[in-house]
Structures are given as structure tokens and as C-alpha cells.
Structure 1
């Protein structure tokens, strides 16, 4: 019980760390490197298989814990005679429900952060692509500007006039 809980909680902390790093305002070069690394890892078939298996396990844990946390707990105020002993005491039932609610929260946040990571990666992909397009467009604009400045200088030499250029 403790090993799987430690593994699930470690997965939650790991996802939180990944999401934290992805949303940091990093320089474009670092952001692009981070995106490329995450894309390379995500395109690995073994990694995707492991992640699908882990997410199925977490989803099943979520559903199971949700169902188990919905148990009805009777109190000592019920109308049973005091000599009837229940097989499950209310304290045990409350403790079981609390453990299952904890598992619902942990597994639910794991699923939520997985969806958040995929969404942030999509946004990061668009940022990287747009920045590359802007830089490529900027280089094209600079080349066109150099051509026009050269053309203007050629016209000045040809006409012999002094046309002022603004930079």
C-alpha cells in the first residue's frame, strides 16, 4: 500500500515539476530546446506505451476510489440494540472513506496535470513555430530592405543627385 502510494505521489510531484518548468518565462532558445526534448521523448513508442499504461492505472484507481468513497456510514445513533456488533466499525468505515477520498484527489490531480501538460505543450509548440516564422520573416524583410537600399544608392549614382536616405 505504501509503495504504490509513494509511486503515485511521486508521479504527481513529477508532473507538477514538469508543468512548472514548461510555464516559466524562459528565453526562446531554452524554450525551443525544451520543446524539442519533450517532443523527442514523447515520440518514443516505449515511453508512450508506458504513459498509456500508467494513465490507465491511474484512471482505474480514480474510478475505484470514487466508488469506494461513496459508502454510507451509519452512526452510533442508529436504533440497533447495543448487543448487535457490526462487522465494520464506523471508525474503520470513516478511515476507509478518507483514504479513498485521498486517492481520488491524488489520482484526479494526476489526470488533470497530464491534460495540462499536453495543453501547455501545444501552446509551447505554437509559440516556437510563430517565433521561428517571425525570425524567418524578419530575415526576409531585412534582405528586401538591403535590396531597396542598394537600388536607391544605384539611383543616386546614376542621377548624380543627393537623395537623402533615412535609416
Structure 2
């Protein structure tokens, strides 16, 4: 196994360990603090960014391994057509063994890269689902009257679990509140102008009556 495929295998083992760590049952408080730390740690953020770049290279290796498997399949089919006689089959035996070995290695690399990419998707989805469950548990505890359910950890988990959706909605609500306040001020200004104009019109109407 070459160096980069060995690194892919180590990454697969690391993903398996992380997945087991995610599904291990832990106390609610410990799990909440752990995921709050993961969601706000700059080191974890840099690690996730580096893994995203690594998965791009693994995707390239996966496409290359699929291409190799296809080419080896074509070579295997060509060898099966050439074995028309016993002497020809004996002469091509060594080459056929080499092709079968390359087929095995290419398929192994394809499965290795494929499972690594697939497990990365499962990890991402599992992480988001756990954050969502923790956020909903916090909301249930708050509704039940548990004051300990709120706090910084809950806010961090809510921001991470919403994947930016909650923050975006909060910004939209703040913008709408500002718009409402602006409209209220404009309405009050228009009402004052309307009353001033009404007073001026009433004064202009009453002035000729006094002259009479």
C-alpha cells in the first residue's frame, strides 16, 4: 500500500473512532459541554477545514481508482478472449496473474476511498443530528421550568445546531424590528404634520369670520 493510501486508511480508522465517540451514551451535561466546546474551539474549526481539503484529494483518488478498476476489467476481458488454446493460455498465465493482482489492488483502493468519503458524510449528518437533539432537549427543559437548562453552552449548541439558520433568522427579525421602529417614527411624524396642517386650515377658516 502506497503512502497516500496508508494515510487514507488511517483517516478511515480515525473516522470510525470519532463515530464511536459520537454514539457512546454520555450524561446530558457532559455531552452538552463537550459539543459546546467542539462548536466553539478554533482548533476544531481549523481541523475541520483541513479535513474538507483532505476529502477533496480523497475524492480525486476515488475517481482515479474507479478508472483503474474499469481499465483492469477491460484487460481481464481481453485476456479471456485470448485463451483460445492451451499453449496460449499457459503463455498468458503470468500476465493474467499480474492483471488479477492489479485488479485486486485497484478495487481495494476504490473501496477504501469510497468508504472513507461515505463515512465522512455519515459523521457530518450524525453530528448535526446530535446538536439538534441537544438543542431540542434544552428547549424542553426550559419549557418544563428547569432554569439550569439555559446558559452559554445551550446558546453555542443552538447556533451550531441551526447551522447558521437560527442566526440568520435572528438577524432578519432584528432588521424587521428596525423597519417597524422606522415606520412608527415616520407615522408619528406624518400625524404631527397632519395635525399642524389641520390647525393651520382651521385658523385660516376662522380668520375671515372674525373680520366679518
In the superposition, the TM-score normalised over structure 2's length comes to 0.57
CA distance in 1 between partners of 2:51 and 2:82 (Å): 47
Which is helix-richer, 1 or 2?
2
Taking a change above 3 Å as real, the CA distance of residues 98 and 37 of structure 1, as seen in their structure-2 partners, is farther
Q: What is the CA RMSD across the aligned residues, in angstroms?
A: 2.9
Taking a change above 3 Å as real, the CA distance of residues 120 and 31 of structure 1, as seen in their structure-2 partners, is same
- Which structure exhibits the higher relative contact order, with contacts defined as CA atoms closer than 8 Å and separated by 6 or more residues? 1
Taking a change above 3 Å as real, the CA distance of residues 41 and 89 of structure 1, as seen in their structure-2 partners, is farther
Which residue does the alignment assign to 1:78?
Answer: 83
CA distance in 2 between partners of 1:14 and 1:45 (Å): 17
The Cα offsets for residues 75-116 of structure 1, whole Å up to 9 and x where unpaired, read as: 48623774xx77x81111111111111111111111111111
Which residue does the alignment assign to 1:8?
Answer: 8
2:38, 2:44 within 8 Å by CA — same for their partners in 1? no
For the residue of structure 2 that corresponds to 1:109, the secondary structure is helix
Q: Which runs of 5+ in 2 are unaligned?
A: 148-212
Aligned positions, number: 140
| Shift in Å, 1:49 | 3.2
Q: Does 1:133 align with 2:139?
A: yes
Structure 1: 4+ residue segments shifted above 6 A: none
Which residue does the alignment assign to 1:93?
Answer: 99
In the superposition, the TM-score normalised over structure 1's length comes to 0.71
